[in-house]
């Protein structure tokens, strides 16, 4: 009986412990901001790794998602004689939902997993200990720049995803299926509101960026210093990030739209 209660309680206590540790880590990162501001080159390096190197996967994925939306939308709307609103459908689907969600998940898969693996390996090879002994706080020098780089990158990548997606949808709807270009763009312009849609999309992406980056650095720091430990943490980063993004998306959508 005691074992049963323990086995039920253990995951809950682990989850609470993880939440506490993550919150403390976030607090330490925020306290590191003055240090980071004096060394912008640390963030620029992380922006390159997390943001610039993710451009291709984000742009190509956005393009294909937009093409699929254009194709599916055109076929469905044609049945109701409403092909003219294809531009609105593609743009709103991307800006409100698919752009922020898929960008964050793609970011977690490409950059987030990389961040976790790098920190995990630094821990396993005693690089973080070496930094500590040199009286350099790894949170300030390594963790905070990676976190901030991620938080800045995700909204920008989301805007890129949205842009490529809209161009992909336009390519299928207008160039391949023959919808009038003027109708496509004017319908989109009419239905997309800057504050309600685009600003909210950026806010969503920013919040996803905070969560995904925090999960990535936390998993790296808490990984066991073995090959298996680093591998497990990398997997956890992608899984936890995807779940967090999808759950948060529901909550944010309920409040925003």
| Residue 239 in tokens | 């899984």
Please enumerate in sequence order all residues whose Cβ is within 8 A of that of 109, keeping only pairs 6 or more positions apart, or say none.
238
135 binds other proteins (CB under 8 A): yes
Alpha-carbon gap, residue 174 to 234, rounded angstroms: 41
In the complex, the smallest distance separating the C-beta of residue 16 from other proteins, rounded to whole angstroms, is: 19
In the complex, the smallest distance separating the C-beta of residue 129 from other proteins, rounded to whole angstroms, is: 6
Question: Judged by CB under 8 A, which stretch of 97-105, 129-137, 183-191, 197-205 contacts other proteins?
Answer: 129-137
Sign of CA dihedral 120, 124, 126, 127: negative
41 binds other proteins (CB under 8 A): no
179 conformational bin, left if phi > 0, alpha if psi -120 to 50, beta if neither: beta
- HSE-up of 197 (CA within 13 Å, CB side)? 21
| Residue 174 in tokens | 């207008």
133 binds other proteins (CB under 8 A): yes
37 binds other proteins (CB under 8 A): no
Question: Judged by CB under 8 A, which stretch of 74-82, 128-136, 174-182, 230-238 contacts other proteins?
Answer: 128-136
Question: Judged by CB under 8 A, which stretch of 79-87, 133-141, 215-223, 233-241 contacts other proteins?
Answer: 133-141
Which spans in 97-178 are helix H? 99-107, 113-124, 127-133, 138, 144-170
Residue whose token pair is 């990984």 = 223
78 binds other proteins (CB under 8 A): no
125 binds other proteins (CB under 8 A): yes
In the complex, the smallest distance separating the C-beta of residue 131 from other proteins, rounded to whole angstroms, is: 8
Question: Judged by CB under 8 A, which stretch of 103-111, 119-127, 148-156, 212-220 contacts other proteins?
Answer: 119-127
Sign of CA dihedral 168, 171, 176, 178: positive
CB nearer to other proteins: give 39 or 189.
39
| Residue 39 in tokens | 């060394």
DSSP 8-state assignment for residue 85: G
Nearest partner of 143 among 124, 118, 108, judged by Cα? 118
Residues in binding contact with other proteins, number by CB under 8 A: 13
7 binds other proteins (CB under 8 A): no
134 binds other proteins (CB under 8 A): yes
In the complex, the smallest distance separating the C-beta of residue 146 from other proteins, rounded to whole angstroms, is: 12
Q: Which residues bind other proteins (CB under 8 A)?
A: 121-122, 125-127, 129-130, 132-136, 141
């Amino acid at each position: 009986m005691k074992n049963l209660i323990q086995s039920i309680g253990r995951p809950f206590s682990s989850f609470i412990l993880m939440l506490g540790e993550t919150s403390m880590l976030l607090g330490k990162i925020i306290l590191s901001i003055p240090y980071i501001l004096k060394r912008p080159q640390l963030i620029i390096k992380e922006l390159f790794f997390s943001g610039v190197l993710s451009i291709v996967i984000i742009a190509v994925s956005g393009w294909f998602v937009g093409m699929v939306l254009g194709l599916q939308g055109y076929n469905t709307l044609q049945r109701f004689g409403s092909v003219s609103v294809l531009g609105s459908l593609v743009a709103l689907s991307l800006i409100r939902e698919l752009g922020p969600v898929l960008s964050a998940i793609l970011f977690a898969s490409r950059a987030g997993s990389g961040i976790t693996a790098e920190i995990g390996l630094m821990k396993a090879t005693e690089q973080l200990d070496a930094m500590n002994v040199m009286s350099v706080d790894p949170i300030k020098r390594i963790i905070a720049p990676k976190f901030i780089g991620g938080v800045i990158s995700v909204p920008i990548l989301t805007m890129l995803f949205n842009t490529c997606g809209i161009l992909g949808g336009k390519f299928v709807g207008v160039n391949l299926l023959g919808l009038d270009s003027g109708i496509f763009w004017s319908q989109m312009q009419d239905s997309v509101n800057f504050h309600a849609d685009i600003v909210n999309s950026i806010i969503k992406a920013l919040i996803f960026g905070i969560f995904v980056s925090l999960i990535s650095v936390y998993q790296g720091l808490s990984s066991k210093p073995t090959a298996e430990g680093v591998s497990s943490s990398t997997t956890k980063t992608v899984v936890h990030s995807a779940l967090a993004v999808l759950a948060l998306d529901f909550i944010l959508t309920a409040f925003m739209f």
